[in-house]
Amino acid sequence: MHALRAQYKLTTTLDLMHCCRARTRGKVRRTVLNCDSKVNLLLHKKILVEGSYLPGLSRMAEKNRYATFSNRLKVPLIGLGTWKSEPGEVKKAIKAAIDAGYRHIDGAYSYQNEVEVGEAYKEKMADGTVKREELFVTTKIWGHFYRPERVEHALRLSLKDLQLDYVDLYLMHSPMAVQYKGDKEVMPKGDDGQWLLDDVHYTETWKAMEKLVEKGLAKSIGVSNFNISQLKEVVKIAKVPVVMNQIENHPCLDQRELVDYCKANNIIVTSYSPLGSPDRSWASDKDPNLREHPLVKEIADAKGCTPVQLLIAYHLCQGLVCIPKSVTPERIQQNFLALDVKVTDDEIKKLDTLASNYRACPWDFWIDHVNYPFREQ
């Protein structure tokens, strides 16, 4: 390692931007690294340099770690989230993520960016970077499609935009249904400005989702934003196993009881908004800033990683899937390197002391819905 560090002129100062030299096609190019000696980066003597990407990206995918569903399908622990990724950004972000080693991409019909997501998949498969079977693709059904007769139609719309024959994981985005007023009307309101909610029960939606697995349109199915009582209802009637519950999860929100229930029932947890979603449009200056919290910075400094990498590793080291969102190639790369950060049980307990019942995404616009999930864990 010392020889490699000397060869690539790396120092050990946290958060410095270091340069290394790599010969590509007879020309010397420079690429940027953000690293520290305490983070186990893959450095290779034979380096492939692509634009501003890290050296050795062709082998970065080997760093992935996996969780195993009850149906034996493996899901990469770290994925790229695409919520809030604007049109014109998400395609570049996914291509950068795949180049950086990500093999898990999380999306949803309601994000309204699946056309670009599909273009990114097509281009990265066409250039030989990745094969379809090497990608783990997640998307979600939105509440206006929850009536059983519309469930297959919903997935086929997503598959068309994604340019895929199947998804690896199809999630019910929440337990709350809304009325159908057209495929694109994801937040329907009446003439009086009131939300057009629907009372179709999520167990009926689930039964229709099971048929998608039978038809080979989805390899696995799961839920998102479900509490324990709601999960129990689905588990009770499920013929196809519930393999995932995707939830908001970070040190400021105590989800321990829900996570423990999922683990006890072979349901993998995906943590979304692992940083507390500070870039959401309704964020307030009064919201906790996890990246700047003294305890987070103290532990990160001791490990020689960034606060963001620590907050991602907090989930990975508990066996939870984590889907941080970014559209910046350098940050996408740095987030992926959280796989190298080891967080101890004692450090997890310390971070858990930050719990303040803070929920960045309370879905309170539908708080009157009969199936609103956040009145309990």
- Please give the radius of gyration of the chain, using alpha carbons only, rounded to the nearest integer: 21
Residue 61 per-residue DSSP state = G
Residue from 106, 193, 185 nearest 142 by CA: 185
Residue from 332, 370, 249 nearest 78 by CA: 332
Q: Which two tokens stand for residue 168?
A: 């690896």
Please indicate whether residue 170 is annotated as part of the active site.
Answer: no
Is 313 in contact with 342 (CB distance < 8 Å)? yes
E-state strands within the chain: 17-24, 27-34, 66-68, 74-76, 80-81, 104-106, 136-141, 169-172, 177-178, 197-198, 221-224, 242-248, 268-272, 321-322
What is d(CA 32, CA 330) in angstroms, rounded to the nearest whole number? 9
Is 14 in contact with 36 (CB distance < 8 Å)? yes
What is d(CA 373, CA 362) in angstroms, rounded to the nearest whole number? 9
Residue type for position 98? I
What is d(CA 188, CA 84) in angstroms, rounded to the nearest whole number? 20
DSSP 302-339: HHTS-HHHHHHHHHHTTT-EE--B---HHHHHHHHGGG
Is 159 in contact with 165 (CB distance < 8 Å)? yes
Q: Which two tokens stand for residue 92?
A: 């570049």
DSSP 142-200: -GGG-SHHHHHHHHHHHHHHHT-S-BSEEEES-S-EE--S-TT-SS-B-TTS-B-EE--
Relative to beta strand 27-34, strand 17-24 is antiparallel
Active-site hit among 8, 53, 109, 111: 111
Which residues are identified as catalytic? 111
